[in-house]
Homo-oligomer: A and B are copies of this chain.
Amino acid sequence: MKKSPPSASLSELVGHNVRVFRASAKLSQEDLAELCGMKRTYVGAIERAEVDVRLTTLGKLAEGLKLEPYELLTDARSRLHLKR
Contacts and interface: CB of A to CB of B under 8 A. Distances in A.
A66 to B, nearest CB: 16
Interface residues of A, number: 21
Nearest to A69: B73
A27 B10 CA distance: 25
A14 B70 contact: no
A79 B48 CA distance: 32
Given A52-B54, A55-B58, 11 more contacts: A5-B54, A6-B56, A7-B59, A7-B60, A9-B59, A10-B55, A10-B58, A14-B55, A52-B55, A54-B54, A70-B73
13 contacts: A5-B54, A7-B56, A7-B59, A7-B60, A9-B59, A10-B58, A10-B59, A10-B69, A52-B55, A52-B56, A68-B73, A69-B73, A73-B73
